[in-house]
Amino acid sequence: MTRAFRAAIAALVAAAAVTLAYANDDKASGANAVDEKREADKRDAAERRDELSARQARMVACNKEAREKEMRGAVRKSFVRECLKSDTAAAGGRR
pLDDT in tens, 17-50: 767 666 666 555 666 888 888 998 888 888 887 7
pTM for the model: 0.42
Cβ(58)–Cβ(87) below 8 Å: yes
Alpha-carbon gap, residue 95 to 87, rounded angstroms: 10
Length of the chain as a residue count: 95
Sequence ranges of the domains in the chain: 2-90
Proportion of the chain above pLDDT 70, given as a percent: 76
